[in-house]
Amino acid sequence: MQIGKINTNEKVFIIAELSANHDGSLQVAKDTVYAAKEAGADAIKLQTYTADWMTIDCEKEDFIIKGGTLWDGINLYKLYKQAAMPLEWHEELFNYGRSLGLEVFSSPFSKEAVDFLDEFNPPAYKIASFEITDYDLIDYAASKGRPMIISTGIATLQEIQNVADICKKRGVDLALLKCTSAYPAPRSEVNLKTIPAIKEIFKVEVGFSDHTLGISAPIAAVAMGARIIEKHFILNKSINSPDKYFSLTPDEFKEMVKAVRETEEMIGEVNFKPKSGRQFARSLYVVKDIKKGETFSEENIKSIRPGYGLHPKYLPEILGKKACKDLQKGDRLRWEDIY
């Protein structure tokens, strides 16, 4: 899948998600973008919404967060009001990120956000887990003709199929990110075996949007076939952000990138042709001086290291045959020595 200048067939695409980790400061946001680049990210991802695009200003019980989250007891509208990145920052952050060589894109949470972002020519749209059931939003974003990256966190298999069908109908490339929509996500609920299953079922690029603590899950996800990794990124944990508890600092993110790249390198390809070590395999050698015409036996030839002689599988065939010339202890056994 091509996302800007990154081809996920050639390189795992690593996304640093800025989310709400800007602390209400454009300079903090820019410093975070720079730190993400220094930490090895391929892309910085923003979130584009206003509180009014997300929900309504209402104090009824339904609009108070509950369910054992980090934000229990907080009003939805007030949370989004605090966390939203001002729309007027986007142009500067897009330009700044691109000047550093990063891909810059965002998660739109409404049609207004899609139209707003389209002015910046993003390389893709990212649909967040909680928006995967908003088929109208997904169809509208896909209508712009850009690659779609969609997290599957809260979706059923049928709902994932539905959004895959929408993107297919629109003729856009699609990547589905395995995601557990808990903040932070317990490792026991991550279920990384789903990654190859998504690949097999939907025949699309597959990735992993991570909300666990630490860096082990993204590394394991790459080993399971993920070609896109998304992780929340924060400049430092002193920043007042609702997302800071499951975000990586620059040093942590850098460590993750290093481990992902090493894992990516080790995965390689299906290859049953050993490139090294054959010299230490066993092979057939003369272990006792043999005169011309003497019979080969288990006393004068053996399967030993190193591996430069005949393959050990020929030993039964050679035993009982005769040497066609004098052979010395330590000589490799070759077919031209036998008659």
pLDDT interval class at 275 (50, 70, 90):
confident
Model confidence at 256: pLDDT above 90: yes
Q: Give the lowest-confidence range in 139-143, 213-217, 276-280.
A: 276-280
pLDDT interval class at 62 (50, 70, 90):
very high
Average pLDDT over residues 178-199: 95
| Domain boundary assignment for the chain | 10-49+84-267, 278-337
For residues 85 and 108, the answer to whether their CB atoms sit within 8 Å is no
Query: Across the strands, what pairs with 44?
Result: 16, 104
CA distances from 106 to 72, 89, 122, 159, 232 (A): 26, 13, 8, 22, 13
pLDDT in the model for residue 181:
87
The SS3 call for residue 92 is helix
pLDDT in the model for residue 242:
85
Average pLDDT over residues 202-207: 98
pLDDT digits (tens, 9 = 90+) for 283-308: 999 999 999 999 999 999 999 999 99
Tell me, which fold does domain 278-337 have in CATH? Type Iii Antifreeze Protein Isoform Hplc 12 (3.90.1210)
pTM of the model: 0.89
Q: Please give the CATH number for the structural domain made up of 10-49+84-267.
A: 3.20.20.70
Model confidence at 68: pLDDT above 90: no
For residues 116 and 87, the answer to whether their CB atoms sit within 8 Å is yes
Q: What is the DSSP letter of 88?
A: G
Percent of the chain with pLDDT over 70: 100
